[in-house]
A and B are shown apart, each in its own frame.
Chain A
């Protein structure tokens, strides 16, 4: 009996951190509505364009998400320091978008690195919607 309680405890504590990409999208949807009352929903196409469109960084380089992740999210990417980045698309990497803290940490860092500002909830949602649309 005691073992069952321990097992249940582990199950629930794991559930508190785990999420599905759809659950994450719901959270960003709530935020996106707060940011913009005219918000109508996320778009995979907008996410794809967001992912691949280069902009001029103040360091003089042309950068986009695809600079490190490659333009196909099913591919492995590479950091500036030559470390492999596992693919972003859940179809080939089921761990993506299942840990809300991790997702926020990396949006926080990478939006600053590429856009030199924080991303909006709409941009984050579009990005995830695009990743989910990749088959």
Chain B
């Protein structure tokens, strides 16, 4: 006998479930919501605007983008925080400020939103971002937005030329190839400097590197210093995580500063006044054999209209060293057989990242914006668009070779992606410093490096000055607290008394 009663109940249940499912799956709208997004006024703004248009179409709310020049951004955000007023909902900020922002308790933890965000696909985000950069003290405070790191580019029409290989072997006694160590890098720079090896009628230069003060050039120095200092298994390389003693005047740093200074002789003319955008221009114009930079040099070289080096270069992980300073023993540790070279790719700057403030007026709407901004689909578009300043950080970014070819690359893997991917997944890669007062520490470093580069001070003396200043800053900000936050930033447990 057919039971109509049961059927009725069943139908009711079905309708109920269907409504729920529909409600859950139908797009939530934020018609009367305005989300205020704060970021820097150059590339990051472009990127925020791209996502704004997409978000407004999808959610029917409004995004207001407030920008500050990079030099003002930190101060303005901190001012609104210390005012204790809700001013901004979404922040797109350098991950180095995580210590000040998340450590200061101004950001909203995102774990619970992420748990419900099925499309975000966090699993495919490169581990160093997924597990470290976006986290603070075990919680997620931002979404991965930008895979910033340094790599080098080298001209293949130089290193693959059999005739030059021959010459190079005669002079230096080994094979001319992509440099594996900073010494090889230096040799190639010297070899390539001052003659016309690409037949364009103009003399080429060796290595294009940013050295101008106040233009982010100290990161070039840090990238160089990392392998001299980053002993595998010893976390952190700028401070001792036991005592907060600066390591910046240890022999590894001194050695790196000497090498950085020496490369002037094989660099662009007037090397001391070269900044990152000069490096990008010079490499794209075919004036240099080597360059070190964030991804932009590679991107410009391949995608810029009028680039002279399309298809004529390849990217590689930053070189390593044959020896590393072991701070535990106070001695150099020499690498001999396997591994024969110590690499320590440095995640200079650590990339931009997107978070929500604790006081955001509508956190769900704010989250939906950053989720769209950093989610698989939109971020792929952004990383393969010029002047967004974003670099790949998801597996799918690396896999979508077609998008990169459309963007202008001849051989995306060789010219860019492999180097980035290798660096990001390298076991001994090192995140940038992320403690409060970051800018003060780096300003001091910047000022003294310049004095060493101009020859006013010896590298040793300059770095001693930095170490003294860093000690002062640490004392100013409170040593105990700095040490604790430094350890947190490295993912270490709090120090036991």
- A-B interaction: no
Q: Residues of B at under 8 Å CB distance from A?
A: none
Chain A contact residues, CB within 8 Å of chain B: none
